[in-house]
Structure 1
């Protein structure tokens, strides 16, 4: 596995790896953009970040899944903050690959055990939900960009 491309711009406000991992561990929704035949298609999804990969589940009978079968490149953004001085987030870009059976019906898969439990803990009180309609996608980012405007000097944060 190769390391993601290093962020070259806005490094002064970039999150450290630990800050990024902590943020992605608690944030609840990402926005995923795919390349559709009629242009970009962006949708919100739940996710799990394991420190090296972003794990997503998607309905296999969705526009998103259709787009990704044709072109596996995606961008996923997780962001937060309301005021300018609070804005922070992470963008992950790369190619997704399906993992496990499609759709997921619960066949034993050691690669998915920890991921499914982490998603269950995060979103459904520890109860795994395997409904036979979703499939797993793994994004090992080729590029990660992050920002945290809370790191700006006070004079630059006082914008409205």
Structure 2
């Protein structure tokens, strides 16, 4: 799902561009909120399967605690240094824990794909290491916004 971007259609990534970008990037910033409304943001590694963003988070983290009481989450993946290089994706929705928490590697068919993607991306192997401290959160976004300012240098289209 993509939010209609007012003024942003020209810089919005296509679905293919977005999927390629999310597959290549290594770090995202995850925002959660406490019961009293205090925001928390932190960096995590992730895997994108074309439909959902998979976050491998420490189960004793503030993030995990906040998501237990309020599953709303926003995630930003971005890069670029100069203004004309800025690009990124914001995904928001509800985080859902998947599999055992913490994860020790018990069979969970729903995690086969995300764990293979994650292990290849960060460890260059198909075998996902489990430390008994992390667990999986799945964000199937309700809203997606993207931008690629490099498109501003190209020819203008209607």
TM-score (norm 2): 0.92
CA distance in 2, matches of 1:40, 1:7: 26
Equivalent residues, number:
152
Determine whether 1:55 maps to 2:54.
yes
- Matched residues in 2 for 1:84 and 1:147: separation? 12
Q: CA deviation at 1:114?
A: 1.4
Q: Provide the alpha-carbon RMSD of the alignment.
A: 1.5
Q: Distance in 2 between matches of 1:7 and 1:31?
A: 22
Please list, as runs of the form range in 1=range in 2, the aligned pairs for 1:33-48 lying within 5 A after superposition: 33-36=31-34, 37=36, 39-48=38-47
Residue in 2 that maps onto 1:119: 118
Q: TM-score, normalization: structure 1?
A: 0.91
Name segments (4+ residues, structure 1) moved above 4 Å.
none
The answer for unaligned runs of 5 or more in structure 2 is: none
Q: Do the aligned residues in 2 keep the contact of 1:7 with 1:144 (CA within 8 Å)?
A: no
Pick from 5, 17, 24 the counterpart of residue 19 of structure 1: 17
Q: Which residue of 1 aligns with 2:5?
A: 8
CA distance in structure 1 between the aligned counterparts of 2:65 and 2:75, rounded to whole angstroms: 17
